[in-house]
Amino acid sequence: MTDKIKKSYRDLREFIRALDKSGELIRIKAPVSPYLEITQITDLMCKSPGGGKALLFENVEGYQFPVLINAYGSERRICMALGVNDLDEIGRRLEKILEMSPPCGLKGHLELLPIALDIFRSLPKTRKKKPPCQEITRLGNDVDLKKLPVLHCWPQDGGPFITFPLVITKSLETGKRNVGMYRLQVFDSKTTGMHWHIHKDGSHYFQEYKKAGKRMPVAVAIGTDPATTYAATAPLPRGIDELLLAGFIRQKPVPLAKCLTIPLEVPAYAEFVLEGYVNPEETRPEGPFGDHTGYYSLVDEYPVFHVTAITYRRNPVYFTTVVGRPPMEDCYLAKATERLFLPLLKTVFPEIADYWLPWEGVFHNITVISMTKEYPGHALKLMNGLWGQGQMSFSKALVFVDPEVKLNQADEIVRHILNTLDVSADIYITRGILDVLDHSSPDALVGGKIGIDATHRVHGEQPRKMPEPTGEREITGVVRKIKDSVRGITDIYVPFTDTRNVCALANIRKTKKHRGKQIARALVTSDIKQPNIFVLFDDDISLTDRSLVAWKLFNNVDPLRDIYRNNSRLVIDATKKEIDDGHPRPWPDDIVMDSEIVERVARRSEELGIADFL
C-alpha cells in the first residue's frame, strides 16, 4: 500500500471520517431493517471483489441510532484501522522488542530509550474527568437494550445478537483484566447471553467467581477506536492485558473511565457501554447463531448477563459486524492476527519462516507453515510442538512446506503437495483438542488431527515413493470407469491432471447401504493407479467452485474417522455426517439467507447505492 496512513484514531468517529474522506465508506440513507436486511446487504459487500466498502446505515427502521458495519472488511481498511501501511508493520515493531539484548555502555542504553518509550506509551490511563462514553446515562428501570439497533443476522438465529462487543472482566484471584469478544444474544430489555467458550479467558475468570460463589461484574464497550476493538479479538496469552496491545498498536495509551455501577474501567471514548453482572449459577439456552464457520452454532446453556446501566455518547454510532461463510469482515481481522503473531511464534519455533491461515479454514481448521528443515523428523517435531502451543493447539490440520513455496497461493500449494506427498509416509493422524465450533468430530472439543509433511527430504530420511506420472487421456478414461463401477458416485472432477499424485473430487449420493465409508473403502481398495487421491462431497456441492470445495473439506472432516489409506491411495470423506456415518452429534445447517430477503435487496440495489457491487 502506498497511501499515507494515520497512525492512530482517538475514537470510532475519527475513523469514520477517515473512511469517508478516503472513499471507503458508503452512507445508506434509505430505510433498512435490522432483521436480516442489513445482513444481506453486508454479505453482498463482503463477498464483492476486495471486500467492497464500509457501510453506514443512517436510517435503521425503528431506531434512532445509525449502524456502522464492514469497517475493517478489506486489506486497505484493516491497515487504516491499525495505522499501518502493511500488516507486517506491527510485527516488525514487536520483533525489535523481542530481539532486545542487554545494553552495553551509554550508547546501548540510549538505543533502548525509543523502545522503552514505545512500551510506556502502551499503558492504559484512567481519566478523572467525565468521559464521553457517559454523556448520556440510563440506570435501573431506564435500562432498555431494545433501544439499540441490534441485528438479527441470519434466518435461524435465536434472536438479535450484539456481535462486536468488548467484554471486560477481571480475575478474582489476580485482578488482571481481560478484554474479549464474546457475542451477546439479547433476551429482553435487561439481559443477554454471555457466550464465552470454555477455552476463553472470560470463561476462566467466570469459573473463579463460580467457585467463590460470587457475582461477577462485567462491562461491555461497543464502538471503540479501531486498535482497541481489534485487540479484543487477538488471542493473547492469559493475563496479558488487551488494552496494552491496543496502546502498542496506537502508540499512545487507551484512555479509560470508571464505570458507574460496577468496579471496572472501560474505554472512555466508546460509543456505548453496558454495565452489569453475571450470576455464578444462572444459565439460559443461547443460540442458534450463524457463526464465522459458515454454519449455525447450536443451542447450548450459557451464563446470563444482567445489565444495570447503559451509557453512551451524544449521537452515538452502533458498531457491529456480521459473520458467516468466508470471506467476511472478520477474515481481515484474522489476517492481521496472523501477521502480528508471527514474530511471537518464531521466538518459540525459530525454524518457522512464515505461515498462512486460509480463510476457508475459518481460522482453526488448517494452517500452512513454511519451515527451514535441518534434520530428520524436524517437521514432526514442529508439528507436535505447535499442537501444544496456545491457540495453535486448536488447529485441526497442519501442512509443512519449504520456505521457497509461496504462501497465499492456493493452487501453487496444492500442486506442491500433490507433487511431493508420499501418501504412505508423509501423513500423520492423531487425536487432540479442537475448537468449540468444530462440528466434524463425533465428540465435542476433542477429535482427529492431521499433519502433512510436504517438505524436502534431508539426509537420514527415507526417499519418497511417488506414483508415476499419468496422461490426461488415461485419467479421463479411468474416471469414466469409476463413475460406472462405484455405486453412489454421481460426478467426478479432476482439477490437476499433470501432478505426480492425481486428486479427484467426487460427488456422492448416499443411501441406507451406501454411505461415505462404503464408497471410500471401494475406492481405496480398487486396483486403479490414478487418480490415487479422492475427496468425497455431497451431491449438491459444485466441484469446480474451489473456495466452496476447500471450505467443505476443511470443516467437514474428522481425520480419525473420515480418512482412508492403503499404501499409495487416499480417500477423504468430506460429506455431511449422520448417525449412520458414525456421528452421534447434531450436524449444523449451512447458513443461507432467506430468499425473500435476497430478492428484496436485489430489487432495492439502486436505492441502497450498492448496485455496482452486485
Q: Which residues are marked as active site?
A: 291
Instruction: Show Cβ contacts of residue 46 under 8 Å, excluding neighbours closer than 6 positions.
Output: 52, 70, 73, 322, 327, 328, 329
How far is 231 from 292, CA to CA, in rounded Å? 18
Cell of 264: 471496572
DSSP H or E run through 219: strand 216-222
Compute the distance between CA of residue 56 and CA of residue 29 in angstroms, rounded to an integer.
9
Enter the DSSP assignment of 497: S
Question: Strand ranges (DSSP E) for 470-567?
Answer: 489-493, 503-508, 533-538, 563-566
Which residue do the cell numbers 479421463 mark?
A: 476
CB atoms within 10 A of CB 514: 16
DSSP state of 134: G
Question: For residue 91, what is its C-alpha cell?
Answer: 510485527
String of DSSP letters for 8-35: --SSHHHHHHHHHHTT-EEEE-S-B-TB
Quick one: CA dihedral 526, 528, 532, 535, positive or negative?
negative
Residues contacting 306, CB < 8 A, separation 6+? 190, 191, 276, 277, 278, 279
Q: Where are the beta strands (DSSP E) in 23-106?
A: 25-28, 54-57, 67-69
Cell of 543: 466441484
Cα distances (angstroms) measured from residue 220 to each of 182, 263, 311: 10, 13, 10
